[in-house]
Amino acid sequence: MSTATTSLECKYPDAWTGKQKKYWVEIQLMDERETPIPDMPYVAENAATRSQCASYTGKSDASGIIRIEGLHPLELILHIEAKPLADEMEKRALRPFGRSEDDSTVKPKAAVEGYEYRYLKIGQLCDSLPEMMPEWKDKANPPEYHFPDAQFTGQTIKKLNCRYVFEVCPFRAWSLMLHHQTDYSIVNAYNLGIMADLSYSAEEQIIRYFEQECVDLSAAPKLSDEHDYYAVVKDVPFSQRYINPRFVTTAGSIIQHDTQLFYVSNDEHVIVAWRGTQEVRDWVTDITFSPQACPSYLVPTGKIHKGFLDAFEYAKDKSQDSFKEIKNLITIEQRELFLCGHSLGGALALIYAAELKSIKPLLYTYGMPRVFTADAVLQLTGITHYRHVNDSDTITSVPMDANLYNWFYEIYGPVGSVLGTTWSVAELLSQKITGITVGDCFWHHGDIVLFYYTTQVVESLQCEGSMSAPKCRRIKYRLPKKTKYYLIPSLAEEKSISAKNQDIQFIRSLTPDSMKQFFPKNTNPDLDSILTDPRNHFMPAAYLPYINDQLVELVCPDAPLKRIESRGAFEKQLSDAGIPDNEKERNRLFAALQRLVVETLKVTEQMPEGKPALERFRKTKKEYAE
């Protein structure tokens, strides 16, 4: 097990010669799942071996044990050869629950046996920096989490005649749990919502998220210190981590489009997140709603919101290399594509999805306005798109679902836009007064996911006067209990959900006409709110809290959440007399759809990495005010 070389220059001091008691030590290498780490080449040295120009070398055995005998009572320094250790620990998965040392199952078992215990990163054992992949840009500063010891000083062993258990953290990184499927996934909605919100950040914060947060295994990556939304993640080999996050911006003067997005990839997928309205120029983009003929690379017919198209094409023109790289990652390197965006970012993400429709992108948007007219939308039905609407969010109602095109827009220059917009507003007022809409109207694309703030109305007959000549009138008033539902109408169409489910049986008992009445295609449903509310539009304060709370409810069904209490009190009102039948039917439908949301978690639960990912999320859960 040990080797020694001697020469005239290298010899033991006199104090170390003669008959002395010899010591031993054992070091057992274990991963987080209590599996030994065998065949690890090591080098151990102390003052005696250095004086003799020797060292103890060998490999850990099948039980992960390194045993060194014949030691002097001196400090021993242990190193493991870097590359074999890094290669092996990339293959080892994390423990399937908490990330703190208190969550270790190795530690208490070591304590029972009376062993010394340490939790270590590979950088605390390596003799040098491992031979790394080309994508590791800054080799002088490897990730601090895995390499906290920049000097590679190894492990110092002072206590001898005992066993040490070294629990070694796997050499892994975080990857977002994403499911490239046509069915709705609550985990997709949450993780891509975090990405949509991250797109508003500065370049430094975006890069930090993927290059630091996603390789720090002490906790799941967190959106920011201000918004502590922890992503639902799985661990992957470090070499399969997110690499080269790219920040794209066309920021300039007030007369230019200020489009911003980021993209990032790992071995499995590419994420492209478009930023929503933030700068002054973004508002100019939003209100330039004149319908313009769609470019042929999107669809052959139909019209598109001019401001959104101009912002999209300006970004592509200014960042051609970035868009070429995205396409290569998808087509040449065969990665799945996930697109997301909030507000204006959702509109730009939809245009990008239309351009890449042959690649089958998966699109999740939040609070997005209308982008295309009906003729164009009907040609984009092959794109999987889930469009989240937070009740009366104002932005989801613009531009109006009307035909806003007129010949004034054909006039060259700004005069045409001004005259065309003026005429469109006049036409819109006329359409609203007459109720008659003709032509190619603006439509919403995708399947709606609606956060519906629900109330209940009671009707009663109030009579006055004598019994022989009563004067009666019907009065309406709202009941006090209100609640908010997470409604996914597409769940009622799912073939995979068991027909034995009572809620499915009820939903399927409704006629197609009644479903269309509650959830009309390509537009927003009628709400209990009379007016739209711009406060419902914000991503971190309106959309993400509600998606987060729904995910918390599914992962922690027994948790005493305010949203569950609110729904229970509201649904208890359904037994009150006087509720109109159509409203009772509607609210029963909403309650049934709400109970079906649990189906959207099943794809994650059924994956091998899914349950550990959800368990980690459960440990960081937090219910936000909705």
Tens of pLDDT, residues 65-84: 999 999 989 999 999 999 99
Asked whether residue 210 carries a pLDDT value surpassing 80, the answer given is yes
Helices of type H across 288-357:
306-318, 320-331, 344-355
Burial classification of residue 19, based on how many CB atoms lie within 10 Å of its CB (0-12 exposed, 13-18 middle, 19 or more buried): exposed
Tell me, letter by letter, the H, E, C secondary structure of 545-569.
Answer: HHHHHHHHHHHCCCCCCHHHHHHHH
457 and 547: one domain? yes
Average pLDDT over residues 207-213: 95
Residue where one domain finishes, among candidates 123, 144, 170: 170
Give the CATH number of the domain where residue 486 resides. Answer: 3.40.50.1820
For residue 300, the model assigns a pLDDT of 95
Q: How many CB atoms lie within 10 A of CB 149?
A: 15
423 falls within a domain:
no
The answer to whether 56 and 3 are in contact (CB under 8 A) is yes
Tell me the Ramachandran region of residue 578: left when phi exceeds 0, alpha when psi lies from -120 to 50, beta otherwise.
left
Q: What are phi and psi of 585, to 5 degrees?
A: -65, -40
382 and 481: one domain? yes
Asked whether residue 134 carries a pLDDT value surpassing 60, the answer given is no
Tell me, letter by letter, the H, E, C secondary structure of 156-171.
Answer: EECCCCCEEEEEECCC
562 falls within a domain:
yes
* DSSP at 532: -
CA-based nearest residue to 103, from 620, 554, 559, 622: 620
Average pLDDT over residues 383-388: 98
For residue 407, the model assigns a pLDDT of 44
**361-364-367-368 Cα dihedral, nearest 10 degrees:** 10
492 falls within a domain:
yes
Residue 8 pLDDT level (bands cut at 50, 70, 90): very low
Residue 14 pLDDT level (bands cut at 50, 70, 90): low
142 and 229: one domain? no
For residue 142, the model assigns a pLDDT of 87
Residue 283 pLDDT level (bands cut at 50, 70, 90): very low
569 falls within a domain:
yes
Q: Which domain holds residue 77?
A: 2-170
458 and 594: one domain? yes
The residue type of 553 is E
104 and 129: one domain? yes
| pTM listed for this prediction | 0.90
How big is the chain by its Cα radius of gyration, in Å?
A: 32
304 and 375: one domain? yes
State the first-to-last Cα distance of the chain, in angstroms, to the nearest integer.
64
Asked whether residue 463 carries a pLDDT value surpassing 90, the answer given is no
The answer to whether 626 and 565 are in contact (CB under 8 A) is no
Give the CATH number of the domain where residue 58 resides. Answer: 2.60.40.10
The residue that leads in pLDDT, 225 or 507, is 225
Residue where one domain finishes, among candidates 170, 194, 226: 170
Asked whether residue 438 carries a pLDDT value surpassing 70, the answer given is no
CA dist 463 and 584 (Å) reads: 25
Residue 208 pLDDT level (bands cut at 50, 70, 90): very high
152 and 235: one domain? no
Question: Does the N-terminal peptide bond of residue 399 adopt cis geometry, omega within 30 degrees of 0?
Answer: yes
429 falls within a domain:
no
CA dist 178 and 189 (Å) reads: 9
State the average pLDDT for the chain.
86
**533-594-273-133 Cα dihedral, nearest 10 degrees:** 150
Residue 6 pLDDT level (bands cut at 50, 70, 90): very low
Question: Does the N-terminal peptide bond of residue 470 adopt cis geometry, omega within 30 degrees of 0?
Answer: no
For residue 133, the model assigns a pLDDT of 53
76 and 201: one domain? no
143 and 218: one domain? no
Asked whether residue 186 carries a pLDDT value surpassing 60, the answer given is yes
CA dist 245 and 198 (Å) reads: 12
Asked whether residue 536 carries a pLDDT value surpassing 90, the answer given is yes
What's the structural domain count of the chain?
A: 2
Residue where one domain finishes, among candidates 170, 191, 221: 170
589 falls within a domain:
yes
Average pLDDT over residues 230-237: 98
245 and 158: one domain? no
164 and 182: one domain? no
426 falls within a domain:
no
414 falls within a domain:
no
The answer to whether 38 and 63 are in contact (CB under 8 A) is yes
The residue type of 331 is T
Asked whether residue 285 carries a pLDDT value surpassing 80, the answer given is no
The count of C-alpha atoms lying within 13 angstroms of the C-alpha of 204, restricted to the half-sphere facing its C-beta, is 0
For residue 509, the model assigns a pLDDT of 66
For residue 578, the model assigns a pLDDT of 77
Say which range, 49-53, 108-112, 252-256, has the weakest mean pLDDT: 252-256
CA angle 444-448-450, nearest 5°?
A: 125
CA dist 96 and 225 (Å) reads: 25
180 and 165: one domain? no
**Residues pairing with 458 in the sheet:** 477
Asked whether residue 53 carries a pLDDT value surpassing 80, the answer given is no
Q: What percent of the chain has pLDDT over 70?
A: 81
For residue 2, the model assigns a pLDDT of 39
